[in-house]
Structure 1
């Protein structure tokens, strides 16, 4: 009631009771601060209005190291496992190549003979 007395003093009681304000009220009950935001021709869109990164956040992001130590150690363990898986496959492929060189009936060329000796030495040393 004390509020009404304040408006009566200035002769604005009718305006205050009507609820007029700077905001515009829409049919769905929502309010808007200005009329330009909700017009279809306005250049402001609600979908792409994400806030840009602040200066301090951008600097902190630039100083952050690219990879973490945890990621690097995980990569190294994965790489050693992969190497262990590939080693037997490489030996099998060398054995197949050696088998084809030994199985040839024709005399071997110089480079084939050198490859044969090299493969024998590698497979015997392992």
Structure 2
């Protein structure tokens, strides 16, 4: 029997963090929405994402709902045109960004990014954020 490839043998570990992030639920309130989508599509995507959060859907399901229910309208709006856009939802503990890349031939590509915010308490004596990793080299 052949030996396992030393490069790809441990490749599954890098996706474990992504799988945990996608299967988690969003907690906290919406802080900010940043987007370059047309206003009506942006508002619909925001409504769909907030509804998914209220239904206690996990992050992966919420992203999928936004892609199918709201961002699919970009195909109709920009038919035969190239379009790139994004929407970013900034919550208390996490940030979710969904990107759309529509090509002129009608194909669309969606991608998403999920991040966890690390909250740092301000240091009342120093007057700035007290982050122990700030000055590490």
RCO comparison, higher one (Cα < 8 Å, 6+): 2
TM-score, normalised relative to structure 1: 0.23
Larger Rg: 1
Name the structure where strand makes up a greater proportion of residues. 2
TM-score, normalised relative to structure 2: 0.21
Name the structure where helix makes up a greater proportion of residues. 1
